[in-house]
Amino acid sequence: MIKNNYLEKLNNSKKPFIIYKSDKGFDLYTDFSKKIILNNKNIKKFINKNTKLRSNNKETDLFIGFFGYEILNNLIGIKIKKQKTLNFPKGIFYKPETKVKLSNKLEYYNPKLVKSNEPFKININKNSYKIIFDKFKKKIKSGETYQIKICTKYSNKSNLDALDFFCRLVKTNTAPEAFMIKDKDYSIISCSPENLINKKNNLITTKPIAGTLKKTKKLNMIKALNFFKKNLKETKEHNMIVDMERSDLSKICKVGSVKILKKKIVEEYKDLYHYVSLIGGKLKKNTSTLDIIKAMMPGGSVIGCPKISTLNLLNNQERQSRNIYTGSFGYIKSNGDMRFNIIIRSILNYKNRSEISVASGVVIDSNAKHEFDENYIKAKALMDLYK
Amino acid sequence: MIYIIDHQDSFTHNVVHQFEEFDEVVCTNFNKINENKLNKAEVIVFSPGPGAPKDYPLSSKIYKKFKGQKKIIGICLGFQQILYCENAKIIEQKKIYHGYQSKITVTSSNSLFKKNSKFDVGRYHSLKLQEPFFAKNFEITMRCAISKVAMAFENNKEKIYGFQFHPESFLTTNGNLLIKKILSS
């Protein structure tokens, strides 16, 4: 059994560590023997070499970390123009030597935490958002994109205890892909609900979410499902993502093996309902880890569709680097199995600055004010942690 | 062998898998054509994709070169690409269909499919064919049951076919059957 004060001791020791949601609780990884900071030159070698490392298949025979948005674009041949950047690394992976299983109840609280931080500032105000929104709507009318997600970013000057934030966050929201990283010079906290890659042997699945509904006392699973089914806009967005993910999987899977395993179901979480599909396939022989990552990342459901032209539209528009946002966090085991999420609902704290990015989709029938407010609601859940 | 020309769509590999059920498929980007393999292919497929036919002059060139010599199939943008090469106007439509399932009807008795039969299909298109449209040997054979927008054409003489909807979408029932019939015509 793990003692109650284990987390507190670890946190105080200043040792870097990572916590990732597991089926029954959380897994904690620490005692990192290697840390690899990714760039465009070493990323392919990292992905290919790592998968060939076939050792004893211990639970720690894996690399865990994240790919940022930019490096995933570059990996599929999409360049991003010069942006305002924090010079935060494009991706970092760690080789842990210790893995500890934690229960669902993470006990840690920092009484000394100074919570009063600077108020958050948004990078795009309502008017600028409307201008971008209208521009993209025209692009939908002319067929250049069918769905596009505008990203807005809230940031402030702050110093935070990442573990304290994470524990409070998962208390109210036990997202299935939640994770945190604490290293010496940065931390990431995320309650991502979305799994992008789950690969075991030659089976691969992806579980896109399109459609979220806040829980109320009047709602139940059946009513939530009816809401999604009747909502034509949500249905169309979801359909598009399902076909896109089928196509991404088809790049690397055997003909006829790509199937929708769960079609448009509702999943219940602590305070929300998600409209979810599960799509899977059998990998073609000799598919490399790099092939899989290039086929699936960056995850389509948070970008828009079709992926390449939509990424180009976004990258021409956005003046600030997305950093980790809409990148992927997860691990690659030495036997080639892997699990990756999509980094959303996240806080990046680096150089005493916090940033929270959020995005919502523009389709032909969306409304600028509604989407702008929706973005604020998504960010607020995280900004409230600073109070 | 079937050569699929990819216009960088996020649905192209669904098309690839659908055609691979019937024959060997080669798929490349529209600007990275393998001339040798294209020459050898019996069937050319123009994939869906973003934008409009005028954005893809290379694909228009290929169509004009092989028209009448090989079976040619166009899907969504590919459908528009072929019609555009036949001097049709492709225009924006008021109501846009992305991720939309709708009913279509076979409207012609010259079609490979039975007149008046109905299909549920998936649609992802901003643009449509402006009508009236006339081109030698071409006939509009399927239409949206509600808006009457052109959903398929057939040129059974020169073996040229096009679908405005997506036969490979999970929203299309009997998509494989449609492709099978076109391939075996």
- Does the beta-carbon distance from B127 to A143 stay under 8 Å? yes
Angle at A312 between CA A308 and CA A317, to 5 degrees: 150
B2-184 CATH: 3.40.50.880
| Partner B contacted by A308 (CB < 8 A) | yes
Number of A–B residue contacts, CB under 8 Å = 101
Q: Which residues, 6+ apart, have CB-to-CB distance to A88 below 8 Å?
A: A68, A186, A321, A323, A324, A348, A350
Question: What CA–CA distance (Å, rounded) separates B26 from B38?
Answer: 9
Q: How far apart are the first and last CA of chain B?
A: 15
Average pLDDT of chain B, as a whole number: 97
Please name the residue of chain A whose CA is at the shortest distance from the CA of residue B167: A243
- Does the beta-carbon distance from A309 to B50 stay under 8 Å? yes
Please tell me whether the peptide bond between A176 and the residue prior to it is cis, using omega within 30 degrees of 0. no
Most A-contacting residue of B6, B10, B120 (CB-CB within 10 A), to test interface? B10
Chain B residues with beta carbon closer than 8 angstroms to that of A240: 98-99, 124
Beta bridge partners of A207: A195
Beta bridge partners of A332: A63, A338
Residue with tokens 């490349």: B28
Q: Residue A54's pLDDT is what?
A: 56
* Residues A146, A363 contacting (CB under 8 angstroms): yes
- Does the beta-carbon distance from A306 to B52 stay under 8 Å? no
Encoded amino acid at B106, one letter: V
Q: What is the DSSP string of A90-126?
A: SEEEEEEEEEEEE-S------TT-----PPPEESS-H
Q: Calculate mean pLDDT across residues A135-149.
A: 93
| Closest to B161 in 3D by CA, of B97, B62, B70 | B70
Task: Judge whether B166 counts as a catalytic residue.
Answer: yes
Check residues A205 and A271 and name the one with the higher pLDDT: A205
Question: What CA–CA distance (Å, rounded) separates A15 from A96?
Answer: 12
* Residues B146, B106 contacting (CB under 8 angstroms): no
Q: Which residues, 6+ apart, have CB-to-CB distance to B101 below 8 Å?
A: A239, B120, B121, B122, B123, B171
Would the ipTM clear 0.90, i.e. be above it? Answer: yes
pLDDT by residue (tens digit) across B144-157? 999 999 999 999 99
- Does the beta-carbon distance from A145 to B50 stay under 8 Å? yes
Q: What is the pLDDT along chain B (185 residues), one digit of tens a residue?
A: 999 999 999 999 999 999 999 999 999 999 999 999 999 999 999 999 999 999 999 999 999 999 999 999 999 999 999 999 999 999 999 888 899 999 999 999 999 999 999 999 999 999 999 999 999 999 999 999 999 999 999 999 999 999 999 999 999 999 999 999 999 98
Question: What CA–CA distance (Å, rounded) separates A249 from A7?
Answer: 39
Check residues A143 and A172 and name the one with the higher pLDDT: A143
Question: What CA–CA distance (Å, rounded) separates B179 from B168?
Answer: 9
**Confidence band for A3, pLDDT divided at 50, 70 and 90:** low
- CA B43 vs. chain centroid, Å, equals 13
Q: Which residues, 6+ apart, have CB-to-CB distance to A299 below 8 Å?
A: A194, A196, A206, A208, A326, A328, A342
Residue with tokens 């599960």: A278
| Partner A contacted by B27 (CB < 8 A) | no
Q: Flag whether pLDDT at A172 surpasses 90.
A: no
Task: Judge whether B98 counts as a catalytic residue.
Answer: no
Question: What CA–CA distance (Å, rounded) separates A327 from A35?
Answer: 18
SS3 label, residue B91: strand
Q: What is the maximum span of chain A, computed from C-alpha positions, in angstroms?
A: 60
- Does the beta-carbon distance from B17 to A243 stay under 8 Å? no
Question: What CA–CA distance (Å, rounded) separates A105 from A23?
Answer: 13
Sorted by where each starts, the structural domains of chain A and their CATH numbers stand as 6-202+323-386 (3.60.120.10)
Cβ atoms within 10 A of the Cβ of B29, count?
13
Q: Calculate mean pLDDT across residues A130-146.
A: 93
User: In what helix (H) or strand (E) does residue B102 lie, and over which residues does it extend?
Assistant: strand B90-106
Tally of residues, chain A: 387
Question: What CA–CA distance (Å, rounded) separates A208 from A245?
Answer: 8
Beta bridge partners of A37: A92
Q: Which residues, 6+ apart, have CB-to-CB distance to A259 below 8 Å?
A: A279, A280, A281
Encoded amino acid at A258, one letter: V
Please name the residue of chain B whose CA is at the shortest distance from the CA of residue A232: B100
Please name the residue of chain A whose CA is at the shortest distance from the CA of residue B124: A146
Domain boundaries, chain B: 2-184
Residue with tokens 């799994």: A195
Most A-contacting residue of B2, B9, B17, B79 (CB-CB within 10 A), to test interface? B17
**Confidence band for A5, pLDDT divided at 50, 70 and 90:** confident
Task: Judge whether B76 counts as a catalytic residue.
Answer: yes
Question: What CA–CA distance (Å, rounded) separates B58 from A283?
Answer: 33
pLDDT by residue (tens digit) across A254-297? 999 999 999 999 998 877 899 999 999 999 999 999 999 999 99
User: In what helix (H) or strand (E) does residue A249 lie, and over which residues does it extend?
Assistant: helix A232-250
pLDDT by residue (tens digit) across B44-81? 999 999 999 999 999 999 999 999 999 999 999 999 99
* Residues A243, B14 contacting (CB under 8 angstroms): yes
